[in-house]
Amino acid sequence: MRNPLKEIRERLRYLLDRVFAREFSGQLIFFIVLVVLVTLLGMSAVFIGLFDQENLAVEGVPTKIDRGFWDAMWWSLNHVLNLRGFQRMYGASLPIVLYALLLSILGLAVFGVLVSLINNTMRRRIESLRAGETPVWEKGHVLILGWNNKIISILQQLARLSPGARVVILAPEEIQAMENRLRVAGIQNEPITTILRTGVPSNLRELDRVAVDRAASIIILSTDGDDRDSIKTLVLLAGREDWPGTRPTLTCEIAREENYELAMIAARDRVQIISSSRVISKVIVQTIRNPGLADVYHELFSISGNSLHVLEAPELAGRTLGELALGFRDGVPVGVAWEQPVEGGVRLAAGLNPGADYDLLEEEQLVLLAESPQVGFKEPGEEYQCTVARDGGSQPRVPKRLLLIGWNDMVYDILKELDAHALRGTAITVLSGVEPGKARSLIAAKIHYSLKNVELEFRQGDGSDARAYEDVDLAEFESLVLLADDSWGSDDADTHTLRVLLRLSSLPWLEARRPHTTVELLDHANRDLLAGLGVDDVVVSPDIVSAQAAQVSRESILGPIYKELLSAGGVEISLRPAGDYVALDTDCRFDDLTWSAQQKMEIALGLRFSDTGQVLLNPSRESVWRLTGDDRIIVLAQQVYR
């Protein structure tokens, strides 16, 4: 049975919806009806003594017309509309009263329109300010064009490198969404100022709005992994010739490897290009070959700790890098950098590990691994004599059996890099949400040559489901790699990675034999969640790329240095057995490691202790250790390809 009151309420609600749907005409009718109804309600005061003797002396009670209907309506209407001019017309002739009422209502409407205009203008102004539509009047600021998951790490790096910096962000995102993301990450507590603007970075007018002419450095980010806008912005800025002052340092991230070559063409040697896919795949493969290397990169690219710096020291010209390595007590020389003249300007170039007998030229800069650029040089004494050096030649290798769980755009570069380092016959099994036939087609489309050393097997299955491992002999694998998987369409790849690790930890085969496990994460905040799950190395991919972008934007010479460090065929950071360098269980210092590494055309960067897993880069020259066969020496060495 229907409720009559409920039905009445629904009909009234529907009537109001229809009235306001008709905009002005409907709302005007509603206003008139409302005034009439409320006025009639006010006239009912007659029945509660409006014209009683005790109220007749009150100034606000009219009595000159009839002390009845008309006086009651006058009294009620003036209370409803509160029209001052109309109130003073009491007792006038009917035409004058009606005319005064019309003028008063029109005056009320005019006043209402004025209030509405002011209100709307203020509201639009506030919305415009919130939307970031006003021009930016900064100078010498860092300009970030685009938005992705690396933005937080970039801002944290900039806060560390340049406290007090002013950072302007132009991205095709809502201001409120960007503000919320920065607030959750705690950027408001960092010593930088962020200014947000919504817009399209590849639009010249939008760039003028964020003072692109006055920026000290510009970072172009790949928005949501799509390089289309990045390349358009890159073409726009790299081809510009009419900079009013010094050309700002330009850095551009390219997410997809297939776009890297086009980006390099568009850059014209004027922009530092960072291929996030190439960089991360390189780090992951190096970590597979060198267990523990992820911690080295974590410190190298972290907000605190040792990182790469460039030092201008013309007074050291003529000295060899071997002499300099023993003279710096709080830094490790790893290479040289210089400016190379090209058509239309200069190009920055760098060479890492040129050899201990390389003479530093006056026009060259020294590349150092140190906690800060302020390092001290002590004149070395007599030629250093190392009494504990040992000769060995261990090389890192790719495991013969490897299980790769997950699928994303980096899988192609990872497979190419693994093939370059692996011995012939190395078996790689890929478990993901991609159907095997489609996976082979994708590999064939992205890798335009036959992989010579690795044999691929593709399986479709969810790594967090035990059924995916039913017919897989997991005990045969020497190494596990978990990628940030996007093959299942999940918005939170890290959560899926955690579920896979939980599943793997429950399998009985791990109790007998635990392979080396490397995990890719997209958010460093999730790193602590992996404790106790058997993870050996964690690669937080956005942090590595964002650290490069931030550091290169501040010091452009670091661009070719990182390119040399993380490019195929160059040098690489490697972890080698301590017994290849010094006598085991014998007192040694870092100078001993430095001298011994120089004999192998390598540069000693630090140590990794097997008992604690601690990574020690650029250690104190006064420390003394007794190393074991499981300890590792961190060196910068030439890559060896099979």
10-residue mean pLDDT series, the chain (642 residues):
74 68 62 71 72 67 78 73 60 61 63 69 73 81 93 91 92 90 92 92 91 94 84 92 88 89 89 89 91 90 84 89 90 90 72 90 91 83 78 80 93 91 91 94 91 94 90 88 87 90 82 83 90 90 90 86 76 91 92 92 94 91 92 85 46
Contacts of 256 (CB under 8 A, 6+ apart): 225, 227, 277, 409
Instruction: Return the DSSP state at 570.
Output: S
Contacts of 356 (CB under 8 A, 6+ apart): 320, 321, 322, 325, 598, 601
Q: What pTM does this model have?
A: 0.78
CATH number at residue 211: 3.40.50.720
Q: Beta strands of 312-425 (E only): which ranges?
A: 331-342, 345-352, 365-370, 401-405
Packing angle of the helix pair 260-267, 228-238 (nearest 10 deg) = 20
Q: Is the domain of 491 the same as that of 553?
A: no
Two tokens at 513? 């034999």
Domain-ending residue, one of 472, 492, 514: 514
CB atoms within 10 A of CB 445: 10
Q: Which helix (DSSP H) or strand (DSSP E) does residue 420 occupy?
A: helix 411-421
Residue 525 lies in a domain: no
Residue 148 lies in a domain: yes
Degrees, nearest 5: CA angle 513-517-523: 150
Residue 576 lies in a domain: yes
Q: Which region, left, alpha or beta, applies to residue 44 given φ > 0 means left and ψ of -120 to 50 means alpha?
A: alpha
Q: What are phi and psi of 604, to 5 degrees?
A: -75, 125
Q: Is the domain of 159 the same as that of 251?
A: yes
Structural domain that includes position 101:
4-130
pLDDT at residue 503 in the model: 92
pLDDT at residue 641 in the model: 47
By CB atoms closer than 10 A (0-12, 13-18, 19+), residue 301 is buried
Distance of alpha carbon 283 from alpha carbon 185, whole angstroms: 26
Side-chain-side CA neighbours of residue 77 (13 Å): 21
By CB atoms closer than 10 A (0-12, 13-18, 19+), residue 357 is exposed
92 neighbors 100 (Cβ within 8 angstroms): yes
Residue 211 lies in a domain: yes
Q: Is the domain of 192 the same as that of 101?
A: no
Q: Is the domain of 97 the same as that of 164?
A: no
Q: Is the domain of 492 the same as that of 577?
A: no
Contacts of 412 (CB under 8 A, 6+ apart): 257, 442, 443, 446, 447
CA distances for 483 relative to 203, 430, 494, angstroms: 35, 11, 9
Packing angle of the helix pair 411-421, 276-289 (nearest 10 deg) = 40
pLDDT at residue 83 in the model: 66
Long-range CB contact pairs, 338-347, < 8 A, 24+: 338/363, 338/364, 338/365, 339/363, 342/269, 344/268, 345/269, 345/270, 347/269
3-class SS of residue 585: coil
Q: Is the domain of 156 the same as that of 242?
A: yes
* Residue among 292, 570, 262, 520 nearest 410 (CA): 520
Distance of alpha carbon 153 from alpha carbon 150, whole angstroms: 6
CA 447 to chain centre: 28
Residue 575 lies in a domain: yes
Query: Please, what's the largest Cα pairwise distance for the chain?
Result: 124
Helix and strand element counts for the chain (H, E): 20, 22
pLDDT at residue 521 in the model: 94
Q: Is the domain of 389 the same as that of 468?
A: no
Residue 528 lies in a domain: no
Instruction: Return the DSSP state at 550.
Output: H
Packing angle of the helix pair 4-21, 23-43 (nearest 10 deg) = 130
Q: Is the domain of 563 the same as that of 481?
A: no
Residue 136 lies in a domain: no
Domain-ending residue, one of 130, 158, 173: 130
CA 24 to chain centre: 48
Domain-ending residue, one of 103, 130, 157: 130
pLDDT at residue 89 in the model: 53
Q: Which helix (DSSP H) or strand (DSSP E) does residue 518 occupy?
A: strand 516-521
Residue 151 lies in a domain: yes
Q: Is the domain of 437 the same as that of 474?
A: yes
3-state class percentages of the chain: helix first, strand second, coil last, to nearest 5: 45, 20, 35
CA distances for 445 relative to 67, 77, 221, 263, 280, angstroms: 96, 81, 26, 20, 21
Q: Is the domain of 228 the same as that of 157?
A: yes
Distance of alpha carbon 196 from alpha carbon 557, whole angstroms: 28
Distance of alpha carbon 60 from alpha carbon 41, whole angstroms: 18
578 neighbors 631 (Cβ within 8 angstroms): yes
Q: Is the domain of 235 the same as that of 257?
A: yes
- Listed in sequence order, the DSSP H helices in 468-598 are 493-505, 509-512, 541-554, 558-565, 590-598
Interstrand relation of 632-638 and 571-577 (parallel, antiparallel or unpaired): antiparallel
Q: Which helix (DSSP H) or strand (DSSP E) does residue 635 occupy?
A: strand 632-638
CA distances for 205 relative to 140, 188, 234, 604, angstroms: 19, 29, 15, 50
By CB atoms closer than 10 A (0-12, 13-18, 19+), residue 262 is middle
Tokens 């600021």 appear where?
141
Total domains in the fold of the chain: 4
Side-chain-side CA neighbours of residue 9 (13 Å): 5
Q: Is the domain of 410 the same as that of 507?
A: yes
